[in-house]
Amino acid sequence: MKCRVCRGPAVIDVRRHNANFCPEHFLKLCRDQVAKAIEKHSMLEPGDRVLVAVSGGKDSLAVWDILLELGYEADGLYLGLGIDGYSDRSGEVARRFADERGLSLEAVDLPGEYGFDVPDGARAARRVPCSACGLSKRHLFDEAARRGGYDAVATGHNLDDEAAVLFGNVLRWQGEYLGRQRPVLHEGDGFPRKVKPLVRLGERETAAWCVLRGIDYVVEECPMAAGNRHLGYKEALNAIEERSPGTKHDFYFGFLARAADRFAEDVEAERGPLGTCTRCGSPTGAEVCAFCRLLERAGGHLPDGRTPGSEPTPDGPVPVALGPTRQGRP
Ligand code: Q46
Ligand code: ZN
Ligand code: ZN
């Protein structure tokens, strides 16, 4: 197996590109793919300050590492979700990555600062854990980005993730989600810009990036992911990709090029006037934002100790349904 670029010994084959690479040229391929994604989708400008959502897994550490390699100023934010065992280990790995490289990593602990964890939140809201978790992550990353004056929040979503989410959205024709499923969501209405610089890399490639760069990452999946629909979508797409390499890439990028705009109307239809949450001050279409409603149901509190629901609201009881937030999926 020879490297496509230098003909030296290759260590990885990338079937989607019908090519093999040596370590040096594989790492260059990854950097180039991320730079291309950033440029093509206008994710970042030189000099932008980026807040990276760090979980301790391969994707979030790879995106942080690659953004730094590409010269961006990137800090990390780790959210302790209070998931038994898993959260402690992932927090340690994220901290070690930052400490060894002298990087800035802020940590927000959901149980310590907000008085509830993801399993509590899911039980209280009668939602699957990933729903309560995703809602909390979006809220807290948005808030941290506003507080820190960052230009964008970067997440480690890769091609496999995006293709699986797209597959799920297409299976149910979720027009609003399809209209928002883009590698960049521009800032506005008080929300920071959200970018997904790894959309041109598959998860096998982000894992290989970490191995070749000597990055220690949490290999185990979050235990709450079991039963998550997206795992099933990923397996189905993996079976297709195995037979026809490049299918995920064509599915996702074909959607962006030829279909995403067709769902703009669905997004518009969901747009209502935006105000400010009376509890926490974040932008929301309701009087109280979805995160504060989740806090209330889960028996949590805001970091200053205020308990949501303890103060009277002018319009009576607070609605507790947890809908998608304005920017939809992370
Ligand atoms: S951390 Fe949270 Fe994931 Fe765990 S509970 Fe689900 S969403 S699976 S990326
Ligand atoms: Zn080479
Ligand atoms: Zn709020």
Provide the residue count of the chain.
330
Residue with CA nearest ligand 1 atom 3: 130
pLDDT at 227: 77
Please return the burial class of 219, using the count of CB atoms within 10 Å of its CB with bins 0-12, 13-18 and 19+: exposed
Residue 213 maps to a domain: yes
Ligand number nearest to the C-alpha of 138: 1
Q: What is the spatial distance between Cα 324 and Cα 330, in angstroms, rounded to a whole number? A: 10
* Centroid of ligand 1 to alpha carbon of 64 (angstroms): 19
Residue 44 maps to a domain: yes
Q: In whole angstroms, how far apart are CA 143 and each of 44, 85, 190, 192, 255?
A: 19, 26, 10, 9, 31
Number of domains composing the chain:
1
Ligand number nearest to the C-alpha of 118: 1
The series of mean pLDDT values per 10 residues for the chain, 330 residues long, is 97 96 98 98 96 98 98 97 92 98 97 94 88 94 96 98 98 96 94 97 98 97 86 96 98 98 89 90 94 93 75 40 40
Residue 195 maps to a domain: yes
Residue 158 maps to a domain: yes
CATH number for position 46:
3.40.50.620
Residue 26 maps to a domain: no
Ligand 1 pocket (Cβ < 6 Å) reads: 81, 118, 129-130, 133-134, 222, 224-225
pLDDT at 22: 98
* One-letter amino acid of 57: G
Q: What is the spatial distance between Cα 74 and Cα 38, in angstroms, rounded to a whole number? A: 14
Beta carbons within 8 Å of 109's beta carbon, 6+ residues apart: 79, 80, 82
CB of 115 closer than 8 Å to CB of 292: no
CB of 19 closer than 8 Å to CB of 13: yes
Q: What is the spatial distance between Cα 183 and Cα 263, in angstroms, rounded to a whole number? A: 15
Q: What pTM was estimated for this model as a whole?
A: 0.92
Domain that holds residue 174: 38-271
Residue 233 maps to a domain: yes
Q: Give residue 132's region: left, alpha or beta (phi > 0; psi -120 to 50).
A: alpha
Residue 161 maps to a domain: yes
Tokens standing for residue 117: 């964890």
Q: What is the spatial distance between Cα 92 and Cα 56, in angstroms, rounded to a whole number? A: 8
Number of H helices, E strands in the chain: 12, 10
pLDDT at 323: 38
Residue 310 maps to a domain: no
For tokens 């959260």, name the residue. 87
DSSP type of residue 46: T
Q: Which atom of ligand 1 is nearest to the CA of 134?
A: 7
